Structures are given as C-alpha cells and as structure tokens.
Amino acid sequence: MKIEKYAVPLSTGQTIQCEYDPDGDLLEIYFSRSEAMAAIELTDNMVLRFDWENCTPLSLSIISFSTLLQPSRYGAMHFELLVEEWPEESQEKILAMLRKPPLTDFLTLSSYTPAHANRVIPTTAVKQIPALVAA
C-alpha cells in the first residue's frame, strides 16, 4: 500500500498535509489531526469530518479524485450537496464552514435551478489545487 503525501499552502498562511492513495484514487486533505467528532457525506464523492462543537473542518476526503483533474468540455464538474441527508441541526454549521477558509481554498459553492423545479439545488466543485496538479 503506497500513500503519497503532499504539503499544501493555504490562503491563511498555514500549510496542511494531503494524502493520496493511488490504488484507491482517494485524496484526504487534513486540516487538523484532531479526532473528528462528526462526519457527513458532503456530496456523492466527498466526506467532511469536523469538530461539532467548534464548527471547524478537520478533513475533506475526495473519492475518485483523478477523474476530477481530467479536462471537461463544460468546465469544472459540480456535485449536489446532500443537504437533505445531513441532520437538520448541523445544516447551517456545515454551510457556514463551506463559506470560509480553509474549505474555500478547495471548494466553490454554487447552486442550480432546473426549469419547472420549485427548488434550488446547492452544488460544489473542487478547485484546481496547484500543489496536487503539479504532482
């Protein structure tokens, strides 16, 4: 089992560590090595672990990561945020984390409104991470 490790500088000046498992095509971005007190499925291909009390992200895992680096005809791929699967009391906490660093260094938040639908679908996309793309 081979795990590749990368140091990634954040907009906050902090440097964090990412681990990539090439066999499993799994990227884990560690903002802190503290034991997580909560984790949710952010999208179908991302898991967010966080500190429930302080509302701080501890790690972000991206499944099938290499597929997100491949060129796409229409630009960045967006994935639906699985808000309805999160416990109600955590929804605002999670959205607040998504709106500020360090998660904004890796993800963009957006939304999509299909025609004839009476709801807005929240989505996210993974930003290009120069330290990882170069690797």
Partner 1 sequence: MRQWALHDRDGREIYLTEEQWEHIVSGHGELRHHLDDVLNTIRHGRRRQQPTDPNTYMYRLRCDLLRRPYNGVLVVVIFRFTQDEHGQLTPNNFVVTAWGIIMR
Contacts with partner 1, residue ranges (CB under 8 A):
1, 3, 19, 21, 23-26, 28, 35-41, 44-45, 47, 49, 52, 59, 61, 63-64, 67-68, 77, 79, 84-88, 90
Q: How far, in Å, CA of 102 to CA of 96, rounded? A: 12
Q: How far apart are CA 86 and CA 74, in angstroms?
A: 29
Minimum separation from the CB atom of position 5 to partner 1 (A): 12
Evaluate whether 31 touches 59 at the Cβ level (below 8 Å): yes
The DSSP secondary-structure symbol of 85 reads: G
Which of 43, 105 has the CB closer to partner 1? 43
- Rounded to an integer, what is the distance from CA 122 to the centroid of its chain? 14
Q: Which two tokens stand for residue 105?
A: 């260094």
* Nearest distance from C-beta of residue 32 to partner 1, angstroms: 12
Whole-number minimum distance, CB 49 to partner 1, in Å? 7
Q: Which is nearer to partner 1, 53 or 116 (CB)?
A: 53
